[in-house]
Structure 1
Amino acid sequence: MLRFLPTPFLTLLSASLAIINTALVGSLIIVCGLIKLLLPKPLYPLIGKVTNQLMWCWSEINRGIFRLVNNTEFVIEDNSQLNKNSWYLMICNHQSWADIVLLCMLFGSRIPMPKFFLKQQLLYVPFVGLACWALDMPFMRRYSRQYLLKHPEKRGKDLASTQRSCEKFKNSPTTVINFVEGTRFTQGKQQNHSTYQHLLPPKALGIAYTLSALGEQFDQIIDVTLAYPGTTEQHPPFKALLAGRLDKVVVKIDTINIGNELRGDYLQDKHFKRQFKLWLDDTWQNKDQYLQSVLKN
């Protein structure tokens, strides 16, 4: 709507509106989280409904800001039938901060409000960190192999955090989102660590453990592939979104039924671990081929 305005002005306008939205809604969510600490546990689901509704409001305001400055063409290949009364595990490739905004916009009214697996460092981001804590989102601290060799007592800490979070998710319909690559895609990371053209290698442990803890409760896995044709590392999707220059977004949505072959002891059962990694690698290979066909054209 406002794309005729200069790009610097659009960037300043949309960034300011997004920060104000995050600060105001985030503050309300934090207040709810602090109130929850003072209440008996039977009332926690009620507070959870309030915080989820506030997150939905945050997402809808972002949608308004997005449409105000962008005229984006969405190409969506949707093979799913979703509803707000089911439990879902969503897996998605991770290219940009724009992924989180777009996933909330695309799915916020179709499925239970998403809960993201987040890096521990995000806990200290003003408004965002404490708001995510109040929303019961799990924070994951990644340890290197070298660190774990020196501090073996830290082994399994992420799994304990996942288990605690999964227990909370059992109380009401929930969508758990896992960016399986663990970090955002860049050409540098791809060249150093990946055999895929447009993806980083998927990390199987987190998703395997989540399926083990909540597998019988999840109705389906939602497999989402995001692509931003026309963007580059010099002009990334999030910057284009703020500047009103995100011209096209391609989204592919598939669902995967969860059978016994996707639930097992990833740490102790070597056969299951091997089969699970093969399944995830095959899923990622198909995703990479789809991205190649989209970006090639």
Structure 2
Amino acid sequence: MPVMARMAMAALLFIASTCLHGALLLAAALFRWLLPLPCLRRRLERWLPAIAESWIGVNGWMIDRFTRTRFIVEGGEGLRAEGRYLVLANHRSWVDIPVLQKVLNRRIPLLRFFLKRNLIWVPVLGLCWWALDFPFMRRYTPQQLARRPELAGRDLEETRKACLKFRQLPVSVMNFVEGTRFTPEKRQAGDAGYRHLLRPKAGGVAFVMGAMGDVLDAVLDVTLHYEPATPSLVDLFADRVRTVRVHLRLLSIPEGFAGADYTGDPQFRQRFQDWINVLWAEKDARLARWSAG
């Protein structure tokens, strides 16, 4: 099949599947809101991730059907669909999200991301993320904080509320620790000492671990690598991505991390930064080996 025809068919199937599953999600979310008894609402809450997992399954089938991309997945033994995980990954491109969803769908609970608040306006998907209780975060510029100091810490408060809800259900809290997609220019500007990664941003991860560490089963450390190195979604469906390599590693929650205060405890802050820097150094070495062939 010609590339343009394959991409057009994939786009049409994605739109049709998204609209169908989105309508089901919104109907279930509305029904949940109308139910009078909390026990019935909690039961219905299990339907919502199942609808999302069906949508992800269709997307994964499309990748298998419309591309010849080879997936190499290492590790991941012992994952549970009813578990609770903090998922940490490097961030290479927009392809990361469909790859993570494809590899982990139904092996762990539905991945939930912390999203920028303006993403709620993305057609169809924004309402689906809202129905699935994805937390929306508002980021403030230094100029806004200078004018309104009371806004400082508002994002941590939103994170705290999301973690309180996540404690009540099987969940996979997803965090791209670098905070932005990798480019050689960003790596050089950040001067982090890594060849294939940006400097990890520890604060958000530490806050989630402090709020939920006592109920998390494990940290799921994910390393992503592509050939070519930073593909786009167009590259994926144009069949220009030769290989996707994914390494999965389960890590226990370090002793003393659950309930700790990253902001107010300097000793814990240093210990947490040391822990995540070691994690990132190991990830960088793994990517170096893969890149060397």
**TM-score normalised by the shorter chain: which range applies?**
over 0.9
Of 144-153 and 53-62, more deviation after overlay is shown by: 144-153
Q: Deviations over 1:199-252 (max 9, x none)?
A: 2221111111111111100010000001112244xxx24222121232211111
Write the mapping of 1:40-189 to structure 2, written as runs, cut at 5 A: 40=36, 41-78=38-75, 80-189=77-186
User: Counterpart of 1:26?
Assistant: 22
- Output the CA distance in 2 between the equivalents of 1:203 and 1:43: 39
Q: Which residue identity is paired with 1:19?
A: I
Structure 1 pair 289/143, CA: closer, same or farther in 2 (3 Å)? Answer: farther
2:200 counterpart (199, 202, 213): 202
Of 190-199 and 272-281, more deviation after overlay is shown by: 190-199
Write the mapping of 1:240-259 to structure 2, written as runs, cut at 5 A: 240-259=235-254
SS of match in other structure, 2:112: strand
Task: Number of aligned residue pairs: give it.
Answer: 290
Of 124-133 and 77-86, more deviation after overlay is shown by: 77-86
1:266 counterpart (237, 262, 265): 262
1:213 counterpart (192, 204, 211): 211
Q: Deviations over 1:74-103 (max 9, x none)?
A: 222215311112211111111222211111
Q: Which residue identity is paired with 1:49?
A: R
Structure 1 pair 123/286, CA: closer, same or farther in 2 (3 Å)? Answer: same
- Output the CA distance in 2 between the equivalents of 1:144 and 1:201: 21
Residues 1:11 and 2:7 aligned together:
yes
- Output the CA distance in 2 between the equivalents of 1:231 and 1:186: 10
- Output the CA distance in 1 between the equivalents of 2:195 and 2:68: 29
Shift of 1:37: 2.5
- Output the CA distance in 1 between the equivalents of 2:251 and 2:158: 25
- The CA RMSD over aligned residues, in Å, is 1.7
User: Counterpart of 2:190?
Assistant: 193
1:230 counterpart (228, 231, 235): 228
- Output the CA distance in 1 between the equivalents of 2:81 and 2:291: 32
Of 30-39 and 103-112, more deviation after overlay is shown by: 30-39
Identical aligned residues as a percent: 38
SS of match in other structure, 2:208: helix
- Output the CA distance in 2 between the equivalents of 1:104 and 1:79: 14
Of 13-22 and 34-43, more deviation after overlay is shown by: 34-43
SS of match in other structure, 1:228: strand
Residues 1:293 and 2:274 aligned together:
no
Question: Does the CA-based 8 Å contact 1:45-1:172 persist in structure 2?
Answer: no
- Output the CA distance in 2 between the equivalents of 1:296 and 1:254: 21
Shift of 1:31: 2.4
- Output the CA distance in 2 between the equivalents of 1:294 and 1:13: 33
- Output the CA distance in 2 between the equivalents of 1:200 and 1:141: 23
SS of match in other structure, 2:224: strand
Of 139-148 and 42-51, more deviation after overlay is shown by: 139-148
- Output the CA distance in 1 between the equivalents of 2:226 and 2:24: 32
SS of match in other structure, 2:9: helix
> Which consecutive unaligned segments of at least 5 residues does structure 1 have?
none
Give the 4+ runs in structure 1 shifted more than 4 A: none
Question: Does the CA-based 8 Å contact 1:91-1:222 persist in structure 2?
Answer: yes
TM-score by length of 2: 0.93
Q: Which residue identity is paired with 2:237?
A: L
